[in-house]
Structure 1
């Protein structure tokens, strides 16, 4: 009997063992790649991914890279047609790693540097599940952004002498500076001004670059004459020269489930550092968009946002990251409004993507929940929640590359919804919860963190250090950017804000700006945002505006500390610590103000009953 029992136990153990998903480990070296060789690693990425496509989905594959530097060139790279939210929709795109229709893959760089050449998407993840990227950095050999290091200023001659960095890869044609990539050329039209300490220069936002002439004094040393910035400039200042073109993010994620990115750094990308669209559950842990350390001679990272999440759902977690020196925000989470172009019948409308950098990708699926908004007042249409029963592209064979759709709903549409007015449609299913925690955001243009989702948002334990504009923005806009939507539960706590708002940008009315774009605010009857708590934060301020809120019902500002300093001269048009327009149920309580609090001067309320703001700080 005992022997039979042991035999049965052994068979059972074998059975249990056989149910486990086998794990496979591959090395890029198995496919011929050698670190530190400068040979074209795109060839070996092609071989690797061909092998991954052969692996059964229930196997987990870990791909390792012997630590070193790997170079990826357009030649032998993947060629793809991608439509990427909030980027320029030019095609085709060259791709270093096209991870498509794959499951259970980990790419472990083991501390390697991946250097890309020309204009590429380093990593794309499409229609995949449980993909992990970790332990590597992304950079480009020749960036499309460059900087001028000012060596001399001669105001009498209206001339700057400056060194271009990184050096080389430029030419001058008819007095005009042109950057030369490996297969492209760009004439810069704008610049960002940085101090020597890598902070953006006080009050110098979005400068045009239009000098009368550029000449070369010696290799990489340029004479720049007739530029309106000469009289405002000092030796040691850096001007990061750029276009507004954004063709390629560093990492592109589309229609994926359960994506994990750990200890990955993007040093440069000619677009976002990371762009995710129509994907569910994304975790960034130690994902950075940053310089190569304090001694890095570059002053810039990405051409646009560090991270951007468009029409995602599930949970987005971004923690332990460093985001610096980018030309836009650290994080932006939103959906995309479609504009109603035709009411077909009581169940069917036609609608289109409106922004020139946001179209071509899937907008909804059958069963998705939606709601409608009147654009001028940014008010929800009564009883407009509905369910998509079908959605088809009407300008393309499929949603791929489409701008306009015909959408049918389960319930009758409210009678007022038609092309006669301005109405947008918002997909509520593809909206995520967000946790943004323990990150550092510093020395970047525009804004720090943007959240536009009705699901729970927690923004905590972050350092916002010298963001050039607003540190945190809650927006919503069905008129220009067409980025949804209304926030319903936002917790902003235990953050440290250091001298944000050293220049004016769009939507930057205070350090924390709750600013939906509402052309007709006076006639609005319903509030847009709600359920916002700002507590236990520290604000180090040189100027007045701490909090601005528009069209908000339910906001608590409590137990915060406000400390004053003299790093810069106050300049902002908003002279009030708290400025509210069209608000209700606002509470300011239990805060500590180093220079005191005077409700008559420090609080301004417009288009609202004074009783809508409750003050216990006096």
Structure 2
């Protein structure tokens, strides 16, 4: 059954605003509906959005403004017809809960105002850096007590990060990191005039005159597309220029297929970066995640992140139950699991699994803590700080013919116990092109790799910013002492027929990997200073063929 979205508009709606029509459609359309969007450029104004108490991992907590919030429906298709939706304020365009058989096609998402600011470096001295904020690209900003405050529709945020971009190459500059080489934000700001801002502070480097500087707020209130508890989802030809958070975030969802999707700088801006965090993010998902023929360019965080989650134990209640914590403040409300699901317990000191069992019950005590009751008796040596990992929510994944380029941070993070294939992809990321990590650090992302194959990929000028990865392919846990493990943390990693070109960091760093193997890999990149293209520590079998091309 086809429905036209314009049929849900009313005469009292704001001109050019589709949020009220989307809200009405989400309330009323039955399963089996194809909702056809109008062509053209439309606003999602907060006046017509719904306010709901919703939680999604890796984003800010609190009430949400949603334009299209759909729950408990099946076989729904959103046919975009080339429509562009530009969110204003903290509106999330799409939020899906417990839906099956979703399809989104031919849509573009952008923002009518940015939560960051974009500037050109016009003066550099020992004392200060002066940037110009072109009003054609930037919204309001002001300075109070040496801090820059950005303002928009129903929000106000402080600047917490400065990222330098190369004017010609349109990529983050090596050594800039998140604060021009400084650890943390040590800057003070003072206005020069209505378009110019002076920046003072200590750092290991100064930006170059003519380069671009992003003034970043680091808030994540409104992702573009949210999948929560969904199954059998397909996105095709969805383009995301900007979001107040991640482009696509999925949690506890399975079988997600992206075809010919992209992130790219908005034509309304200077064309340097995509104004969002991760392009795609899959936390505690299942089934198979597919990305084919996609292009992720210039976003302010990773192109794709697939991982589970560690939930540290903070209290043992009895022989069968514990209280666990969602440790990071942007994980509030993220699902821990459900009855009948299998969990492993990993030691904090080594991340080694030492017990598995099924949950009898899982109860959220609040948005930060949950109680988990197990069928079997818990081990006597369970220590506070050891962590639960839900074994039933680690997907397989296929990334094929995708292009990851010019973004801050990493190309992809792939930390899943399932089988992962990366094939015929190209990478040019400032951090690691491919990272498989896992650990109880800042985000508590779990995922000892089960089986990772990287085949026929191109890596050019990656890992030039150590803050986001020391090696082009970086495999190893982020916390604990792998030397205390009885077996390696990661499983099998195989590299076949890959090519490395241009100056970049170390090509492969593998720590605590059971088997590192592969053949037909060609390195045309210069060797790092220590002369080792591959570093393997605490690994089992290492049989990796990586041939260094002759240099003239």
Q: Confirm or deny that 1:329 pairs with 2:302.
A: yes
**Alignment match, 1:261:** 235
**Alignment match, 2:95:** 124
CA distance in 1, matches of 2:16, 2:330: 35
Q: After TM superposition, give the deviation of residue 573 of structure 1 in Å.
A: 7.3
Q: Is the 8 A contact 1:42 1:72 kept in 2?
A: yes
Q: After TM superposition, give the deviation of residue 333 of structure 1 in Å.
A: 0.8
Q: Confirm or deny that 1:114 pairs with 2:85.
A: yes
Q: Confirm or deny that 1:503 pairs with 2:470.
A: no
Q: Confirm or deny that 1:153 pairs with 2:118.
A: no
**Alignment match, 2:346:** 373
**Alignment match, 1:578:** 534
For the structure 1 residues 211 and 43, does the alpha-carbon distance in structure 2 shift closer, same or farther, using more than 3 Å as the test? same
Q: After TM superposition, give the deviation of residue 329 of structure 1 in Å.
A: 0.7
CA distance in 1, matches of 2:458, 2:313: 42
**Alignment match, 1:284:** 258
Q: Confirm or deny that 1:46 pairs with 2:23.
A: yes
Q: After TM superposition, give the deviation of residue 78 of structure 1 in Å.
A: 1.0
Q: Secondary structure at the match of 1:588?
A: strand
Q: Deviations over 1:74-113 (max 9, x none)?
A: 0021111111101111x21101111122211111110111
Q: Secondary structure at the match of 1:30?
A: helix
Q: After TM superposition, give the deviation of residue 428 of structure 1 in Å.
A: 0.6
Q: After TM superposition, give the deviation of residue 28 of structure 1 in Å.
A: 1.3
For the structure 1 residues 520 and 73, does the alpha-carbon distance in structure 2 shift closer, same or farther, using more than 3 Å as the test? same
Which is greater in Rg?
1
Which stretch of structure 1 is more off in the superposition, 235-244 or 539-548? 539-548
**Alignment match, 1:514:** 475
Q: After TM superposition, give the deviation of residue 119 of structure 1 in Å.
A: 1.1
Q: How does 1:96-495 map to 2 (within 5 A)?
A: 96-150=67-121, 152-155=122-125, 158-164=128-134, 166-173=137-144, 176-197=147-168, 198-207=170-179, 211-217=187-193, 219=194, 221-228=195-202, 232-292=206-266, 297-381=270-354, 384-393=355-364, 395-396=365-366, 401=367, 403-419=368-384, 422-465=385-428, 467-495=429-457
CA distance in 2, matches of 1:174, 1:479: 33
CA distance in 2, matches of 1:281, 1:335: 15
Q: Secondary structure at the match of 2:191?
A: strand
Q: Is the 8 A contact 2:159 2:217 kept in 1?
A: yes
CA distance in 1, matches of 2:333, 2:501: 43
For the structure 1 residues 374 and 303, does the alpha-carbon distance in structure 2 shift closer, same or farther, using more than 3 Å as the test? same
CA distance in 2, matches of 1:161, 1:272: 27
CA distance in 2, matches of 1:205, 1:87: 22
Q: After TM superposition, give the deviation of residue 342 of structure 1 in Å.
A: 2.8
Q: Deviations over 1:306-359 (max 9, x none)?
A: 111111111111121111211211111111111122333333333222222113
Which stretch of structure 1 is more off in the superposition, 475-484 or 101-110? 475-484
For the structure 1 residues 283 and 544, does the alpha-carbon distance in structure 2 shift closer, same or farther, using more than 3 Å as the test? closer
CA distance in 1, matches of 2:72, 2:205: 56
CA distance in 2, matches of 1:322, 1:430: 26
**Stretches of structure 1 lacking an aligned partner (at least 5 in a row):** 1-23, 597-618
Q: Is the 8 A contact 1:194 1:200 kept in 2?
A: yes
CA distance in 2, matches of 1:427, 1:225: 46
Q: Is the 8 A contact 2:51 2:63 kept in 1?
A: yes
Which stretch of structure 1 is more off in the superposition, 68-77 or 480-489? 480-489
User: Higher relative contact order at CA 8 Å, sep ≥6: structure 1 or structure 2?
Assistant: 2
Q: Secondary structure at the match of 2:33?
A: strand
Q: Is the 8 A contact 2:506 2:533 kept in 1?
A: yes
CA distance in 1, matches of 2:197, 2:350: 51
Q: After TM superposition, give the deviation of residue 161 of structure 1 in Å.
A: 4.5
For the structure 1 residues 488 and 175, does the alpha-carbon distance in structure 2 shift closer, same or farther, using more than 3 Å as the test? closer
Q: Secondary structure at the match of 2:16?
A: coil
Q: Deviations over 1:551-601 (max 9, x none)?
A: 111110321111136xxxx8x776521111111111023x431148xxxxx
Q: Is the 8 A contact 1:146 1:164 kept in 2?
A: no
Cα-Cα RMSD:
2.3
**Alignment match, 1:92:** 63
Q: Deviations over 1:462-508 (max 9, x none)?
A: 1102x1111000101034321112111111111100010111125x2
**Alignment match, 1:61:** 33
CA distance in 2, matches of 1:341, 1:223: 46
Q: Secondary structure at the match of 2:506?
A: coil
TM-score (norm 1): 0.83
**Stretches of structure 2 lacking an aligned partner (at least 5 in a row):** none
Q: After TM superposition, give the deviation of residue 211 of structure 1 in Å.
A: 4.7
Q: Confirm or deny that 1:29 pairs with 2:1.
A: no
Q: Secondary structure at the match of 1:47?
A: helix
Q: After TM superposition, give the deviation of residue 416 of structure 1 in Å.
A: 1.5
Q: Secondary structure at the match of 1:559?
A: strand
Q: Secondary structure at the match of 1:511?
A: strand
Q: Deviations over 1:384-434 (max 9, x none)?
A: 2211122223x24xxxx3x32222223333322243xx3111111111111
Q: Secondary structure at the match of 2:538?
A: strand
Q: Secondary structure at the match of 2:20?
A: helix
Q: Deviations over 1:513-557 (max 9, x none)?
A: 002123323322221101111111111142451100111111103
